[in-house]
Amino acid sequence: MSEGSRKPKAMDHAVMDHRLERLIFFSDAVFAIAITLLVIEIHVPHLTGNVAEALQALTALEPSFFGFALSFVVIGRFWMGHHSAMASVASYSPKLLWPNLQLLMAIAFIPFATAFMSANIGQLVPTAFYNAVLMVSALLSLRVVTMARTLWPVAERHGDWLLMGSRGIGVALGAASALALTFYSPIISQLALVTIPLWQRLAARILHARRSADDA
Amino acid sequence: MSEGSRKPKAMDHAVMDHRLERLIFFSDAVFAIAITLLVIEIHVPHLTGNVAEALQALTALEPSFFGFALSFVVIGRFWMGHHSAMASVASYSPKLLWPNLQLLMAIAFIPFATAFMSANIGQLVPTAFYNAVLMVSALLSLRVVTMARTLWPVAERHGDWLLMGSRGIGVALGAASALALTFYSPIISQLALVTIPLWQRLAARILHARRSADDA
Amino acid sequence: MSEGSRKPKAMDHAVMDHRLERLIFFSDAVFAIAITLLVIEIHVPHLTGNVAEALQALTALEPSFFGFALSFVVIGRFWMGHHSAMASVASYSPKLLWPNLQLLMAIAFIPFATAFMSANIGQLVPTAFYNAVLMVSALLSLRVVTMARTLWPVAERHGDWLLMGSRGIGVALGAASALALTFYSPIISQLALVTIPLWQRLAARILHARRSADDA
Amino acid sequence: MSEGSRKPKAMDHAVMDHRLERLIFFSDAVFAIAITLLVIEIHVPHLTGNVAEALQALTALEPSFFGFALSFVVIGRFWMGHHSAMASVASYSPKLLWPNLQLLMAIAFIPFATAFMSANIGQLVPTAFYNAVLMVSALLSLRVVTMARTLWPVAERHGDWLLMGSRGIGVALGAASALALTFYSPIISQLALVTIPLWQRLAARILHARRSADDA
C-alpha cells in the first residue's frame, strides 16, 4: 500500500495515540523521579567507628526511613491508580493535560513534604502539612482518574470504575482522616492511613448502589 | 514474508521513526527530570516543635513554593508545546538534534534560575536573570517548534501552526515583558506573565492575517 | 476493517501488553535514576591549587569512588536480571505490581546505603548495613524473577530459568556471605561478592539436578 | 491468523527487539538524568539585595556555568553517538550489556568531574581529572559504537560507519589532546576540544583509505 493511500483518519488516530503515550510516559517519569528522589533527603551521618554511636545514628534516622517507606508506598499507589486509569483510555484528549500536570505538581512536591515531616517528626505543623499534601494529591488523582474514565470505551466504564473510583475516594478519605487526627495527636495520625481499605469498601458499596439505581 | 524480501525503503522508514521516538523520549526525560528537580531546591527547616515558629518557617518558604509552582507550570507549558509540535512530525531529521539540545540545556538550567530567584526574592538581578532565562527558553522553544513544523505533512501545517506558533510567540513576548518590567519593579515583574494569553491572541491574529494574504 | 468490528478480546490483550510495558518502563526509570543518583553523594572538595593537596583530596575520595563503582555494578546487575525476567513475560498480571514496588524501594534505597558505607569506610555497622540492603534487594529481586517466570510461556520456562534463577540465588548468597564476613572484618567483607559466580554455579547444578529429577 | 499459528521464531524476534528497546531506553534515561543533574552542582548564592554584589556573585559562578554548558554539550554529543549507533542495530545481543553499562558509568560520573573542575577552575589536578574522564568516556563510547556496528545489517556497515567511527575517534583524540595540554596550561586545555572536528576529518580520511584498500 503506498504512502499516499493512507487514510487521513487513520493517521490522526496514530498521532492521537502517540500523544497519549507521551502524556503517560511523561507522567511515569515524574512519578519515578519523585519516588527515587525521596532517598536524597536522608542525610548520611559521619561516624567515628564506635558501634554504639553508629546504632544510635541509625536510630536517629528512623523518622527518615519511616518517611521514605511511607511516601514510597504512597507515590507507588498513586502511580498504580494512574497506571490503571490510563490503561483503558481509548483516545487522547488535550483536556487531560492540565489536570494531569496539577497532579504531577503535587506528586513532585511529596519529597519536600516527606523530608519536612521526617526532620520534625511528631510535630503538629509538619505532620498536618504532610497529611494535607497527601489529601490534595488524592483529590487531584481522583479528578484525573474521573476524567480519564470519560475517555474509556463505554463497555468498560462500569466494572473497573467501581474498583478505581472507590480506591481513589478511599485514599482521599484516609488522608483526610489522618489530617483530622493530626490535631489530636500528630505522632499517631498517619495510622489513620490504614483506614483507607475501610473507606474503599464503603465507597465501593455506595458506587455499586448508585449504579444499581441507575440501571433500574 | 521472509526476512530477505523486506524492502530497504520500509526499513529505513522504521529506523527513522525509531530515531524520532528516541529524540522525543530523551527530551521528555529531560523535561520530566528538570520539572521534578525543582523540589530539591526547597530546603527543609528543622524546628523545635513550637507551632508559631513552624508557621513562621512555612511563611519564610513562601518564595520557594512560589518559585516551584511558577517554574513547574512554565516547564510544563514548554513540554506541552514540544509535545504538540513533535506529535505531527512525519519523518525524522537530524537537523532537529542540535536546536533541541540547546532548548533542553535552557530547560535543565531553569531549576538553578528558580532557586536563585526564590532565595533572593524581589531583588533586581536574580529576578531579571530568571526572566531572561525564561525568555531565552521561549525563543529556543519557538525555534524547535518552527523547525519541527517544516517536517509536518503539508496538509497539517496551517491549522495547528496558527495555534502553536502563536502560543510560542506569546510566551516569548510575555517573558520579554516580565524582563522589561523587572527594571521597574522586580517584585511584580512576574505578573507580566499573565499577559501571555494577550500576546498569543495578537500573534494568532497576525499569523492568520499573513496566511490569508498568502492564500489570496 | 471498521472500528466496530474489532474484537473485545484483542483489545483486552493490547491493554494488557500496554500495562506490562508501563510497569517495565516505570521500573527501568527507577533503576536508571537510582544508578545515576549515586554520583551526587560524592562531595566535591574545594582546593587551594596545591597539587599535593589535590592528589590527597582525590585519595580521600577513594572510598566514595569505590562505593559508586560497586553500587553501579550492583544496580546494573539487578537491572539486567529484571530486564531478562520481564522480557519473556507473555501477559501482564497485577500480581507483579506490589512485589515489584518492594524491589524498587530497595533499589532506590541503595544510594543512601552506599553513601553511608563510603562515608564511614571500614566500620562495622555501615558495612553490615550496606551488605544487608544488598541481600534484601537480592531476595526481593529473586521473588520478582520467580513470579515473572510463572507468566512466561510454558515452553521457555526451563532453559532460561536455569540461568536466571541460579543468577538470582547466587547474588543473594554472595550478599549473605559478605554480610556474614562483615562481622569478621568489615574492610574485606565486600570481597565476598566475588564468590557470586561460585554460588551461581552451585545453584545451577542443584536446579539442573532437580529438573532432571522432575523429568524422570 | 490465530494465536497458536504464530511461529516461535517470530516470537523470539519480538522478544529480542523488546530487549534492545529496553537497553536503549535504560541508556537514554541515564544520559538524560546525568545531563540534567549537572545543574544541581551549581550552588545558589544568597544575596543582600545590592546590585554590584549580585553581579559579582554571578561572575563568581561563571566557572560553574562554563562547566554546565561544556558537559551538557559533551554528554549530548555522546548521547547522539549512542543514538545513531543503536538506531541501525538489527538484532539484540547480550554482548552489548556490559560495555554499555561501563559507558553509562563513565557518563553518570561526569557531573562529579564537572563540579570538581568548576569548583577549582584553572587548577592542574581537577582539570586533568576532568579531561581524563572525558577521554575514558570517549574510548568506552567508541567501543560500544564499534560493537553495535557488528550488529548492523551488512549493507549499512560502510556508509554510516565512516561517519560514526570517525566521530568517535575524533572525540577520543580531542579529549586526549585536552588532557595533554592540561600539563602545559590547565586554563586553556579545554580549548583543545575544538580540535575534535580536525581529528574527525583525519580519522574519516584514514577509515576511507582503509575501506578502499579492503575493497581493492
Among A102-106, D97-101, D110-114, the range scoring the smallest mean pLDDT is D97-101
Instruction: Enumerate the H helices of chain C as residue ranges.
Output: 8-37, 51-60, 62-87, 97-119, 124-149, 157-182, 186-189, 196-215
**Contact between D84 and D164 (Cβ < 8 Å):** yes
Rounded to whole angstroms, the Cα distance separating D190 from B117 reads: 31
Domain residue limits at D75: 8-215
Sequence-distant (6+) residues with CB within 8 A of C142 are C165, C168, C169, C171, C172
- pLDDT of D12 above 50: no
Rounded to whole angstroms, the Cα distance separating C62 from C68 reads: 10
Which residue's C-alpha cell is 518552527? B146
All cell numbers assigned to A52? 554504639
Nearest to D30 among C24, C35, C153 (CB): C35
Name every chain C residue with its beta carbon within 8 A of the beta carbon of A32.
26, 29-30, 33
Residue C65 burial by CB count (10 A; 0-12/13-18/19+): exposed, middle or buried? middle
Express as a percent the part of chain A with pLDDT over 70.
87
Report the pLDDT value the prediction gives residue A216, as an integer from 0 to 100. Answer: 62
Which chain B residues have any C-beta within 8 angstroms of a chain A C-beta? 24-25, 28-29, 31-33, 35-40, 42, 44-47, 49, 51, 54-55, 58, 68-69, 72-73, 76, 79-80, 83-84, 86-88, 153, 155
Report the pLDDT value the prediction gives residue D185, as an integer from 0 to 100. Answer: 86
Name every chain B residue with its beta carbon within 8 A of the beta carbon of D85.
none
Rounded to whole angstroms, the Cα distance separating B54 from A113 reads: 13
Q: What is the mean pLDDT of chain D?
A: 84
Band of residue D7 on the pLDDT scale cut at 50, 70, 90: very low
Band of residue D160 on the pLDDT scale cut at 50, 70, 90: low
Band of residue D214 on the pLDDT scale cut at 50, 70, 90: low
Which chain D residues have any C-beta within 8 angstroms of a chain B C-beta? 24-25, 28-29, 31-33, 35-40, 42, 44-47, 49, 51, 54-55, 58, 68-69, 72-73, 76, 79-80, 83-84, 86-88, 153, 155
Low-confidence ranges of chain C (pLDDT < 50): 1-16
Q: What is the mean pLDDT of chain A?
A: 84
Residue B146 burial by CB count (10 A; 0-12/13-18/19+): exposed, middle or buried? middle
Closest CA to A173 of A201, A211, A144: A201
Q: Which residue has the higher pLDDT, B70 or D21?
A: B70
Rounded to whole angstroms, the Cα distance separating C44 from D204 reads: 39
Report the pLDDT value the prediction gives residue C9, as an integer from 0 to 100. Answer: 38
Q: Please tell me which residue of chain C has the smallest CA distance to A88.
A: C15
Report the pLDDT value the prediction gives residue D13, as an integer from 0 to 100. Answer: 45
Report the pLDDT value the prediction gives residue A75, as an integer from 0 to 100. Answer: 93
Q: Which residue has the higher pLDDT, A11 or B26?
A: B26
- Which chains would you list as touching B if contact means 3+ CB atom pairs under 8 Å? A, D
Report the pLDDT value the prediction gives residue A109, as an integer from 0 to 100. Answer: 97
Rounded to whole angstroms, the Cα distance separating B117 from B122 reads: 8
Express as a percent the part of chain B with pLDDT over 90.
43
Across the interface, whether the CB atoms of C111 and A51 are under 8 A apart is answered no
Q: Which of B17, B30, B36 to mutate to test the interface with A (most CBs of A within 10 A)?
A: B36
Q: What is the mean pLDDT of chain B?
A: 84
pLDDT in tens, A146-184: 888 888 776 666 666 777 777 888 888 888 988 988 888
Report the pLDDT value the prediction gives residue C19, as an integer from 0 to 100. Answer: 79
Q: Which residue has the higher pLDDT, B159 or A2?
A: B159
Report the pLDDT value the prediction gives residue D156, as an integer from 0 to 100. Answer: 63
Averaged over A106-115, what is the pLDDT?
96
Report the pLDDT value the prediction gives residue B156, as an integer from 0 to 100. Answer: 63
Task: Specify the amino acid at residue D83.
Answer: H
Across the interface, whether the CB atoms of B44 and A119 are under 8 A apart is answered yes
Report the pLDDT value the prediction gives residue A10, as an integer from 0 to 100. Answer: 38
Instruction: Give B186's DSSP letter.
Output: H
CA C55-C57-C60 angle, 5° bins: 110
Report the pLDDT value the prediction gives residue D117, as an integer from 0 to 100. Answer: 94
Closest CA to C57 of D143, D120, D55, A109: D120
Report the pLDDT value the prediction gives residue A195, as an integer from 0 to 100. Answer: 82
Looking at the structure of chain B, the number of domains it has is: 1
Report the pLDDT value the prediction gives residue A21, as an integer from 0 to 100. Answer: 84
Band of residue A208 on the pLDDT scale cut at 50, 70, 90: confident
CB crowding D85-111: b at 16 or more within 10 Å, else e: bbbbbbebbeebbebbbbbbbbbbbbb
**Contact between D189 and D182 (Cβ < 8 Å):** yes
- pLDDT of A8 above 60: no
CA atoms within 13 A on the CB side of A138: 28
Domain annotation covers residue D27: yes
Report the pLDDT value the prediction gives residue A151, as an integer from 0 to 100. Answer: 82
Report the pLDDT value the prediction gives residue D157, as an integer from 0 to 100. Answer: 63
Band of residue D158 on the pLDDT scale cut at 50, 70, 90: low
Sequence-distant (6+) residues with CB within 8 A of C176 are C135
Across the interface, whether the CB atoms of C111 and A29 are under 8 A apart is answered no
**Contact between D96 and D26 (Cβ < 8 Å):** no
Across the interface, whether the CB atoms of A120 and B47 are under 8 A apart is answered yes
Kind plus residue range of the DSSP H or E element containing B137: helix B124-149
- pLDDT of D58 above 60: yes
Averaged over A62-90, what is the pLDDT?
89
CA R_g for chain B: 21
All cell numbers assigned to B199? 500576546
Q: Which residue has the higher pLDDT, D162 or B111?
A: B111
Name every chain A residue with its beta carbon within 8 A of the beta carbon of B55.
125
Express as a percent the part of chain B with pLDDT over 70.
87
Among C97-106, D15-24, D35-44, D53-62, the range scoring the smallest mean pLDDT is D15-24
Domain annotation covers residue D3: no
Domain annotation covers residue D90: yes
Distances (CA, A) of D125 to B123, C54, D74, D113, D116: 37, 6, 20, 11, 10
Alpha-carbon gap: A191 to the closest alpha carbon of chain C (Å):
20
pLDDT in tens, B52-68: 999 999 999 999 999 99
Which residue's C-alpha cell is 586554563? D187
Averaged over A30-50, what is the pLDDT?
93
**Residue C23 — φ and ψ, nearest 5°?**
-60, -45
Q: Which of A103, A105, A117 to mutate to test the interface with B (most CBs of B within 10 A)?
A: A105
Alpha-carbon gap: A77 to the closest alpha carbon of chain C (Å):
9
Interface C:D, Cβ pairs < 8 A: 89
Name every chain B residue with its beta carbon within 8 A of the beta carbon of A126.
47, 54
Rounded to whole angstroms, the Cα distance separating D212 from D209 reads: 5
Instruction: Enumerate the H helices of D61-123 as residue ranges.
Output: 62-87, 97-119
Among A25-39, C159-173, D33-47, D182-196, the range scoring the smallest mean pLDDT is C159-173
Report the pLDDT value the prediction gives residue B84, as an integer from 0 to 100. Answer: 82
Task: Specify the amino acid at residue A55.
Answer: L
